[in-house]
């Protein structure tokens, strides 16, 4: 899961996504390339799982020798509240953001801050964010491999949650360290002419390590459709983030992920224009909800 911010009309729009494991220790390096690990999501009836999400973004835009910098920082708590659980691992949960502390700074303007826990009234432009705090944004049903079977959005989520994957897809079969799997996505890019361009992308996942029951997975986002227009490249820039995910195999959930983006586009709006995205997204499982499916004891989340 993750949290995404886009700068539009000088305001930062909150958006919510999501993400999260199963296997054994691999003490012998020689075994690590042959031993297979089963990665599956696991849940307990009526449990609430929480993650701390931090998103930092800096977008530098230059057009006709005029440069504007937009910086955003947010810290929030994302929660999944389990409402039903089947014997095959299929789960239904409510996805919500319990609180958020955020700030935004635009060139030539005063910094804007909003803390949902201390501010009774949000600043102008943040009303939709305030309305989304503490209420279900969507009701999701997914299987143990992270495939979303059904996703019902609530009306309050339409302005704050873009379409996109909520979970990290897991392999169908047990896999060894070094195994790679991928998931295709089609992105629709609006054109200035009024039409749209469909762009094929994919996420490539690699199981790079398993130690003390924690699987480390690297993820790379790739754009497969050849793109020659800088204007379209600018709109696709945020699709090219890469990162690392840590998955607790026993607990069956993501305990940490970090996704980074450092992308420059030249000439997206004339020869003298440039765009630079620099973002970092992190998500950490909160200790009080880090529990194993079998014992109810704290997981290895403190080993990050």
| CATH code given to domain 3-303 | 2.30.230
Contact partners, residue 16, CB within 8 Å, separation at least 6? 1, 3, 4, 78, 95, 97, 132, 137, 157, 160, 161
pLDDT averaged over every residue in the chain: 84
Residue 99: per-residue pLDDT: 96
Which residues are within 8 A (CB) of 298 and not within 5 positions of it... i.e. 6 or more apart?
287, 290, 291
The pLDDT value given to residue 250? 96
User: pLDDT tens for residues 182-213?
Assistant: 999 999 999 988 899 999 999 999 999 999 99
Report whether pLDDT(25) > 60: no
User: If pLDDT is split at 50, 70 and 90, which confidence band does 34 have?
Assistant: confident
Least confident of 6-10, 107-111, 229-233: 6-10
Given a cut of 60, whether residue 288 has pLDDT beyond it is yes
**pLDDT single digits (tens) 213-258:** 999 999 999 999 999 999 999 999 988 999 999 999 999 999 999 9
0.85 exceeded by pTM: no
CA–CA dist 168, 109 (Å, integer): 38
Distance CA 38, CA 121 (A): 47
Residue 32 is predicted with a pLDDT of 53
* Domain extent listing, the chain: 3-303
């Amino acid at each position: 899961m993750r949290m995404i911010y886009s700068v539009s009309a000088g305001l930062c729009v909150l958006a919510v996504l999501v993400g999260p494991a199963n296997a054994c220790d691999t003490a012998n390096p020689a075994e690590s390339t042959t031993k297979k690990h089963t990665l599956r999501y696991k849940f307990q009836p009526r449990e609430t799982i929480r993650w701390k999400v931090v998103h930092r973004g800096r977008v530098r835009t230059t057009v006709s020798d005029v440069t504007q910098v937009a910086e955003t920082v947010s810290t929030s708590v994302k929660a999944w509240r389990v409402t039903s659980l089947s014997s095959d691992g299929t789960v239904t949960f409510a996805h919500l953001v319990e609180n958020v502390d955020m700030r935004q700074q635009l060139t030539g303007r005063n910094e804007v801050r909003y803390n949902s826990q201390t501010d009774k009234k949000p600043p102008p432009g943040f009303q939709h964010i305030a309305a989304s705090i503490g209420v279900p944004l969507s009701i999701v049903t997914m299987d143990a491999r992270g495939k979303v079977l059904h996703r019902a959005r609530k009306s309050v989520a339409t302005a704050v949650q873009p379409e996109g994957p909520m979970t990290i897809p897991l392999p169908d079969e047990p896999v060894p360290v070094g195994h790679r799997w991928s998931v295709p996505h089609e992105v629709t890019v609006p054109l200035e002419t009024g039409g749209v361009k469909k762009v094929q992308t994919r996420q490539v996942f690699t199981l790079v390590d398993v130690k003390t029951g924690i699987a480390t997975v690297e993820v790379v986002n790739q754009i497969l459709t050849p793109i020659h227009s800088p204007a379209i490249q600018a709109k696709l820039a945020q699709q090219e983030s890469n990162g690392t995910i840590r998955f607790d195999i026993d607990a069956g959930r993501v305990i940490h992920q970090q996704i980074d983006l450092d992308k420059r586009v030249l000439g997206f709006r004339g020869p003298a224009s440039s765009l630079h995205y620099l973002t970092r997204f992190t998500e950490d499982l909160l200790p009080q909800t880090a529990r194993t499916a079998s014992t109810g004891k704290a997981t290895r989340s403190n080993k990050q």
